[in-house]
Structure 1
Amino acid sequence: MPTIKRKWYPGASYHVTARGNHRNDIFKDKEDFLHYLTLMKETLGYYVYDKYEVISYCLMDNHVHILIRTEEKPLGQFIGRIHSKYAKYYNKKYNYIGHLFQDRYYSELIETDAQMLETSRYVHLNPVRAKMVKKPEAYEWSSYFVYVSGGKEELVCSNRILSYFKDKNRELYKRYVEFGT
């Protein structure tokens, strides 16, 4: 059965999720999380002229969430590069054979501002809803801390989400996210 082509146009944004095969963990230690984030950053640099923009992310033990905007090219090459390199790293490190990720990654096209905001909140609340932490800022493998602290943005671009709030107020975003718990 052929794979269905994803809907794409310049400026399209997506909520991407990818789960470990058989729901197995894809991150087993801190080094694994760091390696995935390094690959994301490296891939942003590799495709700098294609203007991909990571809006938010959350890496869970057995799956990932990435909210991403595309500008010049479809999503496939970006996610494909990260997942291919990460699977090779993981397979070598853990002497693993077979598919690391379950199926093809899932992507939901973001079509409205409300959907963009709600998806960002959903991504950032994932570890809270999974009962891994009580507050989203306590989870180390998410972009939430950058959003609320105003920390250095090496990987994410918070401007797009913060622009929905008066004066790009981080505290208003924090209240918005935590109201969803």
Structure 2
Amino acid sequence: MLGMAKARLLAPWTGVEDRSAIYHVVSRVVGREFLLGRAEKEQFVKYMRLYEAFCGVRVLTYCIMSNHLHILLEVPPASERELSDAALLEKLEGLYSSQHVDLVREQLAVLSRSRTPEGREAYQNLRETYTSRMWDMGLFMKTLKQRFTSWYNKKHGRRGTLWEARYKSVLVENGLAARTMAAYIDLNPVRAGMVKDPKDYRWCGYGEAIAGNTLARNGVLRVISELESDLSNDGWSGARDITRYDWRSVAGRYRLILFDDGVESSGELSGHKRRGFTSEAVEREEKRSGQLSVAEIARCKTRYFIDGAVLGSQQFVEDVVTSLKGSYLPTNRKGSGGRLGGRMKSSNLWSLRKLAENGA
């Protein structure tokens, strides 16, 4: 029928095999306006990581542009074993206020002790209110975009939808196809002429990985390794222990893929020159096996020094976070920011990158 939205293509093994699926998701701003600035991109990444943890999916890489976004998303099979109430509440703490979580905790405690069919049904219904949103690409994207739209409209005093139509998704095969798609996504800011090197764009997976973000590095490891995902009965078993891998070797290999795929084209056939790396730049990367110098890595990490709100030891940052809760920071905020990892581990420096959702 005309006007009806097409059903999304899901992996045919979903619900049948104990196997994850990888999707390339694209969503554009309504009217393709350039509405996403630095603060908006930062906030979107923050929400994306929150819902990634809650929904039990894995962002392999991503790129937030000024009027659209790309996410390479891995969705595991739904867990066959029920999350414990404690595990569910821990997930909720990342998304909801402490008052809301406390209310759910009380309701679960009361209903779990019920011996009546009505009580048991109410208990399961309460849990399914939240667990039904897990291990699902569509619900991950829906809740993420709705949450960001609400934040954006409040910040800018606007109303209505922020996104153009429905997002698009492509099912991607593990291995070569996933690596090629990841490179395509991370090369977006280079193709758009925003940066000359994807490591210098902070709102893409590769840029975050080079800056030391563990989740981003795990995404690169997953794409390069071609191994099936780390799955447990509860979904992901957690981020891979990247200390077991030679990160510099993995990063160098992925960087060579980026430069090989991102070479500029003359446009002899299409008549349109495609931005990218010169043959000389590709040759230089090949000579050094894609290995960045200490100085280059340090420059990527200076984002935390320039854009961070607080910088110091872990204890120092934790003390500041505690003192700011209820004013600049939400009272239910967990954690103390991020450690400046990689080659700077010896400095034991931590950074709090954002004070509040309103960009203060």
What is the TM-score with the length of structure 2 in the denominator? Answer: 0.46
Deviation at 1:150, TM superposition (A): 7.4
Q: Tell me the equivalent position of 2:101.
A: none
How far is the alpha carbon of 1:26 from its aligned partner? 3.5
**RMSD (Å) for aligned C-alpha atoms:** 2.0
Matches within 5 A, 1:128-167: 128-147=190-209, 149=210, 151-154=212-215, 157-164=219-226
Residue 17 (str. 1) matches residue 98 (str. 2): no
- Give the Cα–Cα distance (whole angstroms) in 1 for the partners of residues 144 and 220 of structure 2: 21
Deviations 1:151-181 (A, max 9, x none): 23245632211215x9662101101111122
- The answer (yes or no) to whether the contact 2:28–2:69 under 8 Å persists in 1 is yes
1:172 and 2:253 aligned: yes
Partner of 1:65: 70
Instruction: State the 1:2 CA deviation.
Output: 2.8
Which residue matches 2:90? none
* Cross-structure match for 1:83: 145
Q: What residue identity is the alignment partner of 1:79? A: M
By how many angstroms is 1:113 displaced?
Answer: 2.1
Distance 1:84 1:32 in 2: 14
2:94 pairs with 1:33: no
Deviation at 1:25, TM superposition (A): 2.2
Q: Secondary structure at the match of 1:65?
A: strand
Structure 1, unaligned runs of 5 or more: none
Q: Distance in 2 between matches of 1:74 and 1:12?
A: 10
Match status 1:119 vs 2:121: no
What are the superposed Cα offsets for residues 81-128 of structure 1, whole Å, 9 maximum, x if unpaired? Answer: 110000111111112222210010111110352211110000010000
Preserved contact between residue 221 and residue 250 of structure 2 (Cα < 8 Å): no
Q: Is the CA contact (8 Å cut-off) linking 1:26 and 1:61 kept in structure 2?
A: yes
Q: Of the candidates 168, 174, 194, which is equivalent to residue 106 of structure 1?
A: 168
- What TM-score do the two structures reach when normalised by structure 1? 0.88
SS in structure 2 of the partner of residue 5 of structure 1? coil
| Larger Rg over CA atoms | 2
In the alignment, what sits opposite 1:42? 50
Match of 1:52 in 2: 57
Task: State how many pairs are aligned.
Answer: 175
Unaligned runs of at least 5 residues, structure 2:
79-134, 227-244, 263-360
Q: Are the aligned partners of 2:63 and 2:188 in contact in 1 as well (CA < 8 Å)?
A: yes
**Which secondary structure does the structure 2 equivalent of 1:13 belong to?**
strand
Q: How far apart are 1:6 and its partner, in Å? A: 1.5
Q: Distance in 2 between matches of 1:178 and 1:124?
A: 11
Q: Given the alignment, which residue of 2, 6, 15 partners 2:4? A: 2
